[in-house]
């Protein structure tokens, strides 16, 4: 059961904390066990919005599967804000050194910098703080105009709401994009493209809509993409006619249900080929009868 530990600093932003916490809590509701913990250097931590949150002053035992998240705080500038003791900063560095993941939202990147975790790595923060972060940590490469950056177990995100995107990414990495898509849909948020690198997941790339019938159809296709699925079966699962499903699906995703299934198959086949499988073996593994259709679809996408 992985643990997610939020390290709270006085005047932290509520959404920096609650957004990622909601993502992991929603993933737990889907059966993916997470234990959420909140630690700080004092038992009561005031937020920038006036709500005081209770936290543990003693850290739980952590292992390499666990995640530590540092929410951001009110920071017109980074200098002189977000105080953390040397002992706490050593804890952050030690968790990463032991193989764990350390993440930050907004100004929380400054805590990672003070812990030495940004040196030699790519990172980001709120757009208003990027120049100062670059000056404070010249050995880091600050990436502009992205929602989050992942570099060797150090994950940094930009402004306040991007903490949700960061958490969805981590859920997708651990449990697959289908689970992240369900969490995003339950929270009524868009699974946004990062901008730092191409969004390679077909599931997430075509989930940025609010049509429940289409999401239900995608849930079926995502789970059974290797099978021959009849449009009538999909429509029945969604409670609409075949014609209505095709119209709604195309409007929401830009492709028909069949094209969506083919895109999932091609994406999985590309992964298998990258792992050393032959085109023929990959084609059979994803549901094609032979390699001819896979070759045709790959050439079309090239």
Location of each CATH 1.10.10.60 domain in the chain: 202-299
pLDDT of 279 strictly over 70: yes
- What is the predicted pLDDT for the residue at 194? 57
What is the reported pLDDT for 138? 97
- pLDDT for res 198: 41
Of 133, 131, 88, 86, nearest to 107 by C-alpha is 133
Average pLDDT over residues 20-31: 96
The pLDDT > 70 percentage for the chain reads: 95
Q: For the chain, what is the mean pLDDT? A: 91
The CATH code belonging to domain 3-187 is 3.40.50.880
Q: Which two tokens stand for residue 175?
A: 């449990």
**pLDDT given at position 75:** 92
Q: How many residues does the chain have?
A: 302
Across the range 84-99, mean pLDDT stands at 97
Tell me the average pLDDT across 75-80.
92
Kindly report, residue by residue over 185-229, the tens digit of the pLDDT: 888 886 555 545 443 467 767 877 889 899 999 989 988 999 999
Query: Encoding tokens for residue 73?
Result: 């705080």
| CATH architecture label of 202-299 | Orthogonal Bundle (1.10)
State the pLDDT at residue 300: 84
What pLDDT does 199 receive? 38
Residues 6+ positions from 128 with CB-CB distance below 8 Å: none
Q: What is the pLDDT of residue 268?
A: 87
């Amino acid at each position: 059961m992985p643990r997610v530990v939020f390290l709270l600093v006085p005047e932290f932003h509520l959404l920096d904390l609650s957004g990622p916490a909601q993502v992991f809590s929603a993933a737990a509701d889907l059966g993916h066990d997470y234990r959420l913990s909140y630690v700080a250097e004092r038992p009561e931590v005031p937020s920038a919005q006036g709500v005081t949150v209770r936290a543990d002053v003693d850290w739980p035992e952590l292992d390499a599967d666990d995640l530590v998240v540092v929410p951001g705080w009110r920071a017109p500038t980074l200098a002189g804000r977000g105080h953390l003791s040397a002992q706490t900063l050593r804890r952050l560095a030690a968790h990463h050194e032991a193989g764990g993941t350390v993440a930050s939202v907004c100004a929380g990147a400054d805590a990672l910098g003070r812990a030495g975790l940004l040196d030699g790595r790519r990172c980001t923060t709120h757009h208003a703080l990027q120049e100062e972060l670059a000056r404070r940590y010249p050995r880091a490469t600050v990436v502009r105009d992205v929602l989050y950056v992942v570099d060797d177990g150090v994950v940094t995100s930009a402004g306040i709401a991007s903490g949700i995107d960061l958490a969805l990414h981590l859920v997708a990495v651990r449990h697959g994009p289908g689970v992240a898509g369900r969490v995003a849909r339950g929270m009524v948020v868009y699974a946004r493209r990062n901008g730092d690198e191409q969004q390679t997941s077909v599931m997430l790339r075509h989930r940025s809509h609010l049509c429940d019938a289409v999401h239900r159809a995608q849930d079926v296709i995502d789970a059974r993409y290797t099978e021959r699925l009849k449009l009538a079966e999909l429509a029945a699962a969604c409670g609409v006619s075949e014609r209505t499903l095709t119209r709604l699906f195309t409007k929401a995703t830009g492709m028909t249900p069949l094209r969506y299934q083919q895109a999932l198959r091609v994406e999985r086949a590309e992964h298998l080929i990258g792992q050393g499988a032959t085109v023929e073996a990959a084609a059979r593994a994803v549901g094609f009868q032979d390699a001819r259709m896979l070759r045709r679809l790959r050439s079309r996408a090239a």
